[in-house]
């Protein structure tokens, strides 16, 4: 079966089903509805701002400038009443706040109470800018707030011009006053010239006398320098003397205190030595008695030891002589006790001998200590007597050192005061000398200046007279004031300007509508199967492609007709507009057909993702340079980018060479994706295709 026959039979079957025909027509009309509604809604949004309600609150209290009342806030309100850019509502602050809170106003303009007062500070030392508070209600509508920003800039420029005009009129009035004052100043300058001549004569005499004063102060300055140097040396010496005598007095005071402590210690030491001597004498007597007692005790212990030993030995002999005693327990105890007594008495005798030897040594030491204690007692008495005499002399030396320190301090104080006085005197003489020289030089300069004043005042009188004539000729009419207030005029050329916002956004909306139309068609009609039983893969390819192309042609024609003749969209060439729309729709159709034919529902998803990328990256609304960097890189590869650029050339610029370049890009996309669709069907086995139940997916 030939491929074209499959398409014709599909069309015949389609025409026999009214619902499919209506669906087809609905899909064909979708881009027309989509693009026309969007373009119509965006045709001229800035031309309807007069319908936007705006609150205006005037709190300005006015001011007085150069003796005249100035109410800039009231003038601004009067200006707004004649302005139809917005729907102005002149309300109080409470009503404006309530209206913003309940979304009755898109923005609020508040003129503060000090608006006129601040406007009068231009010539003040610290000028303050007049402020208008502009508050957009972005929560209500963000775009309306942006429109308000633009309008406020224009109103600000007008108001600034009015304020500048008021300043300019005031300035010209002051120029007139200055002109009169310059005339009076010229007459005063003439009188000044006469007085300057007399002043010059008196200054010559003053200069001569000042020369004498300068010479005398120079000689006085030299003498004071010598005196000042001597006072400095005296101050240094007295300072050293004061420090030395102070240290000496302090040392003597400390020495007196130490001598008193030493004297007290010597007295105590002498008393202790006497007591020690007495104690050692008593100890010597006791040690002699102890030695005698120990000698007697040692002899007795020797006898006791010998007796105890003899008793023990006698008992042993008795026991040996009497065998029966060996078994007598009491005798055995008596024998053991006698042996213990003999051993203890021997130990007692040994201890007594050691005690006797120690007491002998103790007695010898006591005699040496007694002799040393006697010498110590005699030396302490001599030391106490000598320290008492030394203390009396030391007290006298301390009193003298204190008087010497006091005298040295007084001398140093006088030297310091002398130095300070000489410093002040020298400083005064230096200042007097320097002042005399400067006064002499100044008198000379003043004399020269008086001569210049005499000649300059004559020239000043002449110039002031000329200035009075020049300022009186300044023009202060309304034309001059207007020129000062607004010296630059802005002239807009409209060669490259579109009349309506809709003309600028139409390429974006129309491209989007055609892509959506192709995407919707793929959801309503099958892109793989045919209604003709047994259709070959090539027949199905041709039938589905021609059907899709036919719908895209209908979509293009309907959208263009409504835009051109319904909405009166102005283009450079209507035939080229129709042709370009057909090519754009055909390219988008081939892209969607290839994706859906190969992948079915995932292909539709990819088509939606592609549309989302194109919505943001095709530069249909914002300039390409304002997009993120990655979007700028993706932009040249998107089909909608080339459709938008081509439409802009046809609608606005008339750059047909640019349009033809975009056609080439779009046809490349169409050919590539058409080839992909053909490849899908070429891979299908040649078999009889089962009739589809319904073409809606």
Q: Is the pLDDT of residue 110 over 70?
A: yes
Mean pLDDT throughout 589-604?
Answer: 90
Q: Is the pLDDT of residue 674 over 60?
A: yes
Between CA 643 and CA 261 the distance in angstroms is: 119
Q: Is the pLDDT of residue 697 over 50?
A: no
| Domain 49-181 class in CATH | alpha beta
- Residue 579, Cβ density class (10 Å: 0-12 exposed, 13-18 middle, ≥19 buried): middle
| Length in residues, the chain | 697
pLDDT tens readout for residues 540-579: 888 888 888 988 898 889 888 988 898 888 888 999 999 9
**Residue 676: what pLDDT?**
93
Mean pLDDT throughout 81-85?
Answer: 79
pLDDT tens readout for residues 313-326: 888 888 888 877 77
* Higher local confidence (pLDDT), 506 or 483: 506
Count CB neighbours of 18 within 10 A.
8
pTM, two decimals, is 0.47
Mean pLDDT throughout 496-514?
Answer: 71
Between CA 134 and CA 674 the distance in angstroms is: 56
pLDDT tens readout for residues 528-540: 777 677 677 787 8
Q: Is the pLDDT of residue 489 over 60?
A: no
| Domain 233-413 class in CATH | mainly alpha
* Higher local confidence (pLDDT), 564 or 460: 564
**Residue 181: what pLDDT?**
63
pLDDT tens readout for residues 28-59: 666 776 666 665 655 555 556 677 788 999 99
Q: Is the pLDDT of residue 688 over 50?
A: no
Q: What element of type H or E holds 663?
A: helix 656-682
Q: Which residues contact 464 (CB under 8 A, 6 or more apart)?
A: 182, 183, 185, 186, 189
Which of 176-190, 375-389, 419-433, 672-686 tops mean pLDDT? 672-686
* Higher local confidence (pLDDT), 179 or 458: 458
Q: Where in the chain is the domain with CATH 3.40.1710?
A: 49-181
Q: Where in the chain is the domain with CATH 1.10.287.950?
A: 233-413
Mean pLDDT, the chain, rounded, equals: 76
Between CA 607 and CA 612 the distance in angstroms is: 9
Q: Is the pLDDT of residue 214 over 60?
A: yes
Mean pLDDT throughout 116-134?
Answer: 79
């Amino acid at each position: 079966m030939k491929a074209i026959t499959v398409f014709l039979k599909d069309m015949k079957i389609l025409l026999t089903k009214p619902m499919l025909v209506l669906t087809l027509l609905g899909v064909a009309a979708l881009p027309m509805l989509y693009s026309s509604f969007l373009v119509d809604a965006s045709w001229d949004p800035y031309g309807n701002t007069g319908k936007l309600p705006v609150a205006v609150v005037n709190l300005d209290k006015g001011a007085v400038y150069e003796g005249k009342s100035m109410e800039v806030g009231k003038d601004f309100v009067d200006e707004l009443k004649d302005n139809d850019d917005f729907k102005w509502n002149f309300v109080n602050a409470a009503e404006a706040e309530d209206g913003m809170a309940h979304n009755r106003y898109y923005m609020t303009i508040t003129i503060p109470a000090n608006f006129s007062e601040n406007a009068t500070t231009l010539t003040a030392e610290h000028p303050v800018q007049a402020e208008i508070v502009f508050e957009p209600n972005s929560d209500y509508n963000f775009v309306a707030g942006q429109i308000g920003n633009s309008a406020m800039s224009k109103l600000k420029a007008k108001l600034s011009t009015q304020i500048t005009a008021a300043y300019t009129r005031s300035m010209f009035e002051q120029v007139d006053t200055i002109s009169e004052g310059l005339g009076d100043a010229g007459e005063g300058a003439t009188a000044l010239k006469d007085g300057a001549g007399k002043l010059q004569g008196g200054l010559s005499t003053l200069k001569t006398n000042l020369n004498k004063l300068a010479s005398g102060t120079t000689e006085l300055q030299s003498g004071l320098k010598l005196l000042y140097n001597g006072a400095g040396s005296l101050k240094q010496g007295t300072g050293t003397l004061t420090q030395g005598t102070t240290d000496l007095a302090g040392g003597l005071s400390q020495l007196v205190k130490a001598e008193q402590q030493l004297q007290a210690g010597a007295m105590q030491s002498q008393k202790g030595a006497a007591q020690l001597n007495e104690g050692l004498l008593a100890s010597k007597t006791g040690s002699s008695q102890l030695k005698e007692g120990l000698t007697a005790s040692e002899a007795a212990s020797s006898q006791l030891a010998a007796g105890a030993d003899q008793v023990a030995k006698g008992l042993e002999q008795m026991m040996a002589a009497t065998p029966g005693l060996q078994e007598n327990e009491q005798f055995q105890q008596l024998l053991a006790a006698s042996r213990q007594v003999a051993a203890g008495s021997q130990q007692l005798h040994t201890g007594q001998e050691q005690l006797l030897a120690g007491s002998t040594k103790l007695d010898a030491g006591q005699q040496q200590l007694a002799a040393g204690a006697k010498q110590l007692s005699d030396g302490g008495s001599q030391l106490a007597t000598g320290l008492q005499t030394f203390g009396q002399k030391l007290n006298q030396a301390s009193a003298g050192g204190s008087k010497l320190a006091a005298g040295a301090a007084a001398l140093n104080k006088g030297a310091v005061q002398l130095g300070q006085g000489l410093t002040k005197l020298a400083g005064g003489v230096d200042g007097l000398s320097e002042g005399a020289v400067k006064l002499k030089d100044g008198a000379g300069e003043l004399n020269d200046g008086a001569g210049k004043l005499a000649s300059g005042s004559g020239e000043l009188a002449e110039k002031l007279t000329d200035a009075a004539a020049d300022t009186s000729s300044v023009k202060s009419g309304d034309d001059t004031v207007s020129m000062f207030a607004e010296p630059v005029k802005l002239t807009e050329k409209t060669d490259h300007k579109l009349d309506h916002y809709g003309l600028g956004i139409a390429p974006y909306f129309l491209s989007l509508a055609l892509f959506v139309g192709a995407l919707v068609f793929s959801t309503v009609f099958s892109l793989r199967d045919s209604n003709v039983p047994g259709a070959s893969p090539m027949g199905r390819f041709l039938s589905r492609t021609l059907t899709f192309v036919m719908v895209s042609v209908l979509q293009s024609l309907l959208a263009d007709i409504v835009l051109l003749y319904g909405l009166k969209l102005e283009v450079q060439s209507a035939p080229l507009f129709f042709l370009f729309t057909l090519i754009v729709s055909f390219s988008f159709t081939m892209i969607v057909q290839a994706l859906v034919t190969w992948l079915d529902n995932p292909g539709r998803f990819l088509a939606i993702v592609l549309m989302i990328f194109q919505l943001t990256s095709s530069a249909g609304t914002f300039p390409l340079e304002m997009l993120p960097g990655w979007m700028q890189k993706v932009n040249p590869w998107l089909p909608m980018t080339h459709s938008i650029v081509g439409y802009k050339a046809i609608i606005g610029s008339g750059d047909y060479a640019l349009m033809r370049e975009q056609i080439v890009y779009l046809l490349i996309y169409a050919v590539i994706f058409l080839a992909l669709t053909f490849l899908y069907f070429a891979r299908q086995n040649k078999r009889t295709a089962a009739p589809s139940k319904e073409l809606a997916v």
